[in-house]
């Protein structure tokens, strides 16, 4: 790279000098008015990295406090034509001598006035790159589809028994990868009964449930989850069970749902029926104080406001719970939610810090696949299962056999001539026989 400083009485003359010396490829690095004329620094064989390095070094102290603006190559290096037509800025300080028409400036000179801005070209917003990106993602989608078809065709051609089994497992609406893994693990795919048993056992091995009923353990539980999944109803069911076993004195209910009119009243109504005091906590400090006062209670159940996982207020509400220690957060999910929605809820309502998952509305769920998949994916224990609106009857401590019973009975009921799902209570015995195992 060659850099030179040119001085001339006016811009037109200066440009001519640049052209004569550097030719049409010259790049103007800077221009300023000086006593009796104009001074231009230009370059040929331009090396942007060298310039950026020099400019960056020169601008380093300022960068610490304020980042340099991104400057495109065109903004940074005006063409000869645009500079020629521009008038030099009036307030630019003059210092160089006008006498010398041309003064050589070495590329490594310390004294040359070098441009200050750091060059940062944002290639990611280049339209041609964006178009290419879009095209690549279309091609990837098409390839994925082709591969998916190929694998199904291959499976049918070379492993017909597994293909049939995969179709049967598909009726459970499990996550596809989980379903494929379960089928792959089957040792006796040709024996349909044995193969189905192996699939269910594979699923059973992956499911966790609470060892003991948390109501018997006691402690402080907050039920969290999306809107309308049945948090308050589940609290009412748990409270009623607790009252039946241990009396109302050792139980307290707290509502932190301050967002909606009527939310408090719903819990108050259940509290009044059971003879249990219902408290209200508006802030983290408030909640801490209430819990201190209730430290002699065997069980404290906290009802929270139902919110969409991405709701801004969720962070505030969860922050309030996190401020106070020793609260076990129980995520409530409706079994008929889509798997993607469940994943979102797990992520936003606490992920690994959750104590477990309670599934509601099993009675309204055509398949349990999404619920079973989220339990397998998160390795969180299923705690309670709710299968209706009746308080307190329609709640059960989750057991693997219940979950599998629901899933497989619903699957079986799709077969013509099969009876619809039997009521919850009648399933386990026969199901144990099918599995021939203690789950």
Ligand X SMILES: Nc1nc2c(ncn2[C@@H]2O[C@H](COP(=O)(O)OP(=O)(O)OP(=O)(O)O)[C@@H](O)[C@H]2O)c(=O)[nH]1
Binding site for ligand X (CB under 6 A): 227-233, 263, 306, 360-361, 363-364, 386-389, 394
How many residues belong to the chain? 439
Closest approach, Cβ 159 to Mg ion, in A, equals 48
Question: Could you say which of Mg ion, ligand X, none residue 389 binds, taking C-beta under 5 to 8 angstroms by partner kind?
Answer: ligand X
Closest approach, Cβ 360 to Mg ion, in A, equals 12
Question: Could you say which of ligand X, Mg ion, none residue 55 binds, taking C-beta under 5 to 8 angstroms by partner kind?
Answer: none
Closest approach, Cβ 260 to ligand X, in A, equals 7
Question: Could you say which of ligand X, Mg ion, none residue 230 binds, taking C-beta under 5 to 8 angstroms by partner kind?
Answer: ligand X
Question: Could you say which of ligand X, Mg ion, none residue 411 binds, taking C-beta under 5 to 8 angstroms by partner kind?
Answer: none
Question: Could you say which of Mg ion, ligand X, none residue 387 binds, taking C-beta under 5 to 8 angstroms by partner kind?
Answer: ligand X
C-beta of 175 vs 316, nearer to Mg ion = 316
C-beta of 306 vs 356, nearer to ligand X = 306
C-beta of 223 vs 355, nearer to ligand X = 223
Choose, by CB under 5 A, the member of 7, 42, 173, 232 that binds Mg ion. 232
Closest approach, Cβ 232 to ligand X, in A, equals 3
Closest approach, Cβ 233 to Mg ion, in A, equals 8
C-beta of 163 vs 308, nearer to ligand X = 308
Number of chain positions touching Mg ion (CB under 5 A): 2
C-beta of 80 vs 333, nearer to ligand X = 333
What is the SS3 assignment for the chain?
CEEEEEEECCHHHHHHHHHHHHCCCCEEEEEEEECCEEEEEEEECCCHHHHHHHHHHHHHHHHCCCCCCCECHHHHCCCHHHHHHCCCCCCCCCCCCCCCCEEEECCCCCCCCCCCCCECCCHHHCHHHHHHHHHHHHHHHHHHHHHHHHHHHHHHHHCHHHHHHHHHHHCCCCCHHHHHHHHHHCCCCCCHHHHHHHHHHHHHHHCCECCCCHHHHCEEEEEECCCCCCHHHHHHHHHHHHHHHHCHHHEEEEECCCCCCCHHHHHHHHHHHHCCCEEECCCHHHHHHHHHHCCCCCEEEEECCCCCCCCHHHHHHHHHHHHCCCEEEEEEEECCCCHHHHHHHHHHHCHHHCCEEEEECHHHCCCCHHHHHHHHHHCCCEEEEECCCCCCCCEEECCHHHHHHHHHHHHHCCCCCCCCCCCHHHHHHHHHHHHCCCC
Closest approach, Cβ 235 to ligand X, in A, equals 8
Binding window for Mg ion (CB under 5 A); candidates: 16-24, 138-146, 216-224, 227-235: 227-235
Closest approach, Cβ 232 to Mg ion, in A, equals 3
C-beta of 183 vs 263, nearer to ligand X = 263
Question: Could you say which of Mg ion, ligand X, none residue 37 binds, taking C-beta under 5 to 8 angstroms by partner kind?
Answer: none
C-beta of 126 vs 364, nearer to ligand X = 364
Q: Which residues would be at the binding site for Mg ion (CB under 5 A)? A: 231-232
């Amino acid at each position: 790279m060659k850099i030179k400083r040119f001085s001339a009485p006016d811009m037109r003359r200066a440009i001519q000098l640049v052209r004569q010396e550097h030719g049409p490829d010259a790049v103007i690095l800077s221009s300023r008015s000086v006593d009796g004329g104009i001074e231009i620094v230009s370059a040929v064989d331009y090396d942007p990295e060298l310039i950026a390095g020099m400019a960056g070094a020169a601008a380093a102290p300022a960068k610490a406090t304020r980042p340099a603006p991104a400057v495109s190559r065109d903004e940074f290096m005006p063409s000869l034509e645009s500079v020629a037509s521009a008038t030099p800025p009036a307030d630019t300080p003059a210092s160089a001598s006008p006498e010398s028409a041309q003064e050589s400036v070495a590329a490594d000179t310390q004294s040359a006035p070098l441009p200050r801005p750091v060059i940062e070209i944002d290639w990611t917003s280049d339209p041609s790159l964006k178009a290419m990106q879009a095209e690549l993602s279309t091609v990837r989608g098409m390839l994925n589809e082709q591969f998916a078809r190929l694998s199904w065709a291959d499976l049918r051609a070379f492993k017909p028994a597994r293909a049939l089994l995969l179709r049967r497992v598909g009726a459970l609406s499990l996550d596809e990868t989980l379903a494929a893994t379960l089928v792959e693990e089957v040792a006796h795919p040709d024996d349909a009964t044995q193969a189905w048993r192996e699939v269910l056992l594979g699923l059973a091995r992956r499911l966790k449930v609470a060892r003991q009923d948390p109501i018997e353990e006691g402690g402080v539980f907050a039920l969290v989850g999306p809107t309308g999944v049945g948090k308050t109803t589940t609290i009412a069911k748990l409270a009623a069970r607790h009252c039946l076993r241990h009396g109302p004195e050792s139980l307290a209910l707290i509502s932190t749902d301050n967002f909606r009119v009527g939310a408090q009243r719903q819990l108050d109504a259940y509290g009044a029926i059971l003879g249990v005091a219902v408290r209200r906590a508006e802030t983290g400090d408030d909640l801490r104080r209430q819990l201190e006062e209730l430290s002699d209670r065997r069980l404290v159940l906290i009802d929270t406001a139902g919110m969409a996982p991405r709701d801004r207020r969720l962070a505030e509400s969860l922050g309030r719970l996190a401020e106070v220690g020793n609260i076990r957060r129980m995520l409530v999910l409706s079994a008929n939610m889509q798997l993607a929605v469940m994943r979102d809820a797990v992520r936003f309502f606490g992920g690994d810090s959750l104590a477990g998952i309670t599934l509601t509305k099993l009675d309204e769920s055509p398949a349990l696949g999404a619920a079973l998949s989220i339990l397998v994916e998160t390795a969180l224990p299923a705690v309670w299962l709710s299968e209706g609106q009746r308080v307190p009857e329609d709640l059960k401590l989750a057991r693997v056999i219940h979950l599998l019973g629901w899933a497989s009975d619903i699957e079986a009921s799709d077969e013509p001539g099969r009876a619809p799902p039997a009521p919850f209570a009648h399933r386990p015995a026969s199901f144990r026989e099918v599995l021939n195992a203690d789950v």
